Structure 1
Amino acid sequence: MKERRSFQTMWSKYGTVGIFCILLLILMILRPSAIFNSSSIPQILAQSSVNILLAVGEFFAILIAGIDLSIGSIAAFTGFVVAKLMIMNVPIVLAVFLGIAIATLLGAMNGFLVNKTGLHPFIITLGTQTIFRGVTLIGTNARSVFGFSAAFSSFMAQRVFFIPVTAIIALLVAGFFWCFTTRLKVGRNIYAVGGNKEAAWYSGINVSLHTLIVFIISGFCAGVAGIVLLGRVGAAEPAAASGFETYAIAAAIIGGTSFFGGKGKIPGVVVGGLIIGLINYAMTVMTVPSSYQQIVMGSLIIISVTLDRIIGTKKA
């Protein structure tokens, strides 16, 4: 019994870090030149930045035993809006602010629909995912939007002590929401809602309000991710972030977030995002076709949820 509890405790605390270390070790053995160079770590961090931002937003949706499939579409739409505003000579800071505000509003729309219809977030966000992507395709005429201020892309491409600005943005957002979940009552209430909605309601927690807050956060994070992606790519692509919701879900679950709600921590999600970035980087340097990444991500989700289910059952 003690051995079982010890394994559960160790896995809960160090499982995600262990997975990252194992993957890093495998890459070092198979392609040491890919790790031992001056650009490897910045590239992994840069590739992980969008994954981390989307995963943090997805973390909150999964924390209440829900899901948000629209984050990739919101990211793409935000990138389009910000690019278009900058082309119209709107100051960069204002364009970014408006883009994030619109993304947050789209997240609030998801939360409002979930509350008013009573449908599972999977159904609502599956629908809004398609709607938001369609609006983006119409707005861009299915073409890339470019020609905005080079200062924006230049800023996003900079590094501070070898750490990409995009990674710093992702870590700052993750750090803020880590404090949000650990220091504020509203953050702790979200855990309670995810653990047991009825018990949370009987204890005086406004479940609908906290559900709305969760999707507002998810939309906000998706908006920031869309801006980071815009800076990295240098253009607003109508198909940007397609399928990235899979990466976000994988990062959150690999990071220790329970798919059944009420359990998970932001630091684990950050490591989960780094794992996804490391896998993408490894496949790129080993010239593995990108289509295989989908197989790997799908397999990781199944394995992670299965482990969560088995360990959770044993705890019970």
Structure 2
Amino acid sequence: MIKISHVQQTPIYSFKPVVDKNIPDKNKVNTQIATVAISEESHNKYIQSLKFKETNKDDVLGQQFKEFYEEYHSAEAIEKRRLERLEKEQANNRLVDEFPDNTLHHVIKEALEGKVINASLYAKELASTIRSSVSMPDKSVEERAAYREMGLKQAEYIAEHYFDDELEAASFMNEINKYYENDVLREKGYVVFDNSDLEPLKSYSSRMSNDDDISFYTLAKRYMDKDYFERFIKGEGTPKESARFLMEIKNNKEKYREEIIEELELNEQQVEKQITATKSIFDSFVWENGLVTETMEEQPTYLVEILKWNKDMLNLLN
């Protein structure tokens, strides 16, 4: 298998890390480490080891294999995994008091310092609801949508009653809405980087392919044997196993493509329907001073917890 490592000869591909302000200085990707180089010699050796019966100078399977490593080991992918790990750590640690600059946690804390009893706690809780797809992976789509809507209502109440400057309040809500919209996209199955110039893309694609192209990484992760996949990404697989999988992809790629795209489109439709239904529930509530004073006769059981969360948050306000 190709080993992804530093090479002396001229590489055919190299990547510089995407620096994201969400990561504190001490956690930024080291350029020397994150740069990935795949040499022509290493690639050729791998292709030769597969020993395909048919030969083609424009070998599609070899290109797919190369694309997999480019995608998985690219600086952008490394940065994404680091961000996801950091986000999960923050989401699970309620004692965190310092947040990286330009994260939603930081924006809320800075805006509400002095306006609430505990700005750090308030920021942590509000940011978690606005980004519920990240912070609440074990909850259902409906529950995450409800928390997201309640977080938005809480932010709107804050903007209306706790900012003396209208421009400051508008700036605050612009940030909240940006993160809210990004989270809805994540829920629908898109890859989104907050606070970056990178456009969202469908989760089955990659920035190295056209929007509707299924990345080789997606195909491998979904259809490759789980145990072999772990060895494959570490470069510990065998040419025979790789050749068998690559031929399987070649023979079934169109079928796999249709399955993956259909699944994402169906998920997107269902999420949109669930979010719309949740909005309707919130629109039916009677609100007074940020609290829900009257609800529908029949409502989801999880709303009891969310209504309590909203009340507890309001109690933090000075």
TM-score bin, normalised by smaller chain: under 0.3
Which one has the largest radius of gyration?
2
Higher RCO (C-alpha 8 Å, min separation 6): 1
What TM-score, normalized to structure 2?
A: 0.25
What TM-score, normalized to structure 1?
A: 0.25
